[in-house]
Structures are given as structure tokens and as C-alpha cells.
Amino acid sequence: MNPSNSSTDEELELLHYWFKTWPDQGVPYPNLYVNYIQEIYSDIIQNGGTTLIHCSAGIGRTGIIYITLLLMIRNKFSIRLIDGYNLCMLGSYKRVRPITAEEIEHLIIEARTHVRPRLIQTIEQYQFLCDVFGAKTTPDLTKNIWDRIVILPNGLSTSKQIVASASDNKDKNRYRDILPYDSNYYHKEDIPYVNASLSNIDGYDFILTQCPKPNTFDDFWKMVKYENVKRIIMVTGLIEGREGRTLKCDKYFKLDGANTNHIANLKLNYLVTKEQYEIRQYSLS
């Protein structure tokens, strides 16, 4: 990722896309996902800027978003839901070349190798990607491919995770076993470490990260400002679990216009509520 050329004194406007009903280690409703990801994809192509993706840990639901956008950007896709089937189509409504289950496997291993360990957590999530892109599978093929993926949690990476494990950084990790690589973790002169992984897809910058903890809120928003983040894609609830008692994400953003001390420099401009997701526009000074 190239250093941001924008001055940190300038006000930054960004969108916050919050999908609120996507279960941990699970998948969303396909038609709602298609609407959600198409809106995000259009924003990326039209407006550029850095895209930040996070769930709770930054690997499962985050991985689905990342692999979807990876395929869409590389192939100039537009996804539509037609007659109950997810079909990959260009904006001109021409069918594009078929995506194969093996191609999605390759991209997951590539992303685990070069971007962030353990992206895509379950066989259900892998199958969901195949369904979204119309990749033909059978139960045996899906199982065989998933078996190949799961034995490579770090893909083929030789990069270590020493910085993330350092004593000064341990309490900045939401989960002790989900750590970025030394080769692409986020840091600046005044931000020694963020549990975030940097990537670039055909000129579009991405940050894949965990939901920030209260002790990392300041570094998180500095990172957003420094890297000219134009959109935050949030795919986790704040509280999840069967009884709604498991904290998955601390409230690092403003739900309404009320002033909050730790994010006092974040102004909510507007809120759009859609089926199962919300879009907020903020100004960050």
C-alpha cells in the first residue's frame, strides 16, 4: 500500500456499510448479500480510495467479502440475483466466463498466503462463494477442495507473526491466535502496530482487520485517516451468540449524532437503513 498523500488535517468523508445479521462463521441470505456487495463494488469502482473490511476477528466473514471483491474487480463483474440463482454478469448483462470451484480454492490459498491467515473459516463459507459465482460443485468435490484448503491455514506463506506476538502488542489483538503477518501488518511512525493486513487488488487498496478494541480505537481511526479509507465494511454484530451475550465488536463508531468522547472527531452526516444492513456517512476530522 502506498503512503497516503492526503494531509491528515483535511476532513475525510467515508461510508460505513454495516451488515447486522450475518452469523459468526456462517453466511448471509444470498439475495441480501448480492444487493449489499453490489452497492459496495459500485462505490469502489466509481470513487476509489481505500476499502477497510472487518468482522470480529477479520478472517471468516471478512474473507468472504474480500474474495468476492477480488473476483469482481479482477474480472470486472457485476452480480445480479436472477430467478433465484446467483449469476455472474458484466454491467452490459453479458455472461462472463464461468468461475470454477478450483479457481475459488486457488484464490483462498493465495489470500491466506499473501494477505491474512485463515481467511474463510468453514466449508459452508467456501460453498457460499461457489454458489454466489455459479461455480459448479458436488458434495465430494466441495469436501475434497475444503480438505486441501483447511490443511493450509497460512496458505503457502513463509512470513512470520513475530511483531503481533510481541509483549507490547498482545493486548491489541482481539484473539490471541489470529495475527497478521510481519510482511504486511499495518504500522506507521506513530502507530507501532495494528492487527490489520494490507492488500492491493489491481490498484485498489484494502485493509483487512479485526474489530478494534477500546485500547486501539485511536490507532484505528488514525489508520483510517492516514490511508484515505473511503468505506468501512462491517460484517459482524456488536453482541452475538445464541443468547446474545457474546461481545464480538466494541462500538468504535457513532450510531447516532450524539457526541462520544473517544470518537468526538467523528461526525455522522446521514443514515440509510436497508433490509438487514445500514449505511452511514461520516466526516472524520
Domains and CATH numbers, the chain: 12-284 (3.90.190)
Q: What is the mean pLDDT of residues 246-272?
A: 81
Integer CA distances (angstroms), 161 to 179, 202, 264, in order: 7, 26, 33
One-letter amino acid of 22: W
Q: How confident is the model at residue 149 (pLDDT cuts 50, 70, 90)?
A: very high
Q: Which residues does 149 contact at the CB level (< 8 Å), separation at least 6?
A: 105, 108, 109, 112, 120, 126
**pLDDT digit string, tens, across residues 13-24:** 999 999 998 988
What's the pTM? Answer: 0.92
How many residues appear in the chain?
285
**Quick check: 160 and 181 in contact, CB under 8 A?**
yes
Please give the pLDDT value at position 148.
96
In the prediction, which pLDDT does 69 show?
95
Where helices occur in the chain by DSSP H, the ranges are 30-47, 61-75, 101-114, 123-132, 139-150, 162-165, 217-226
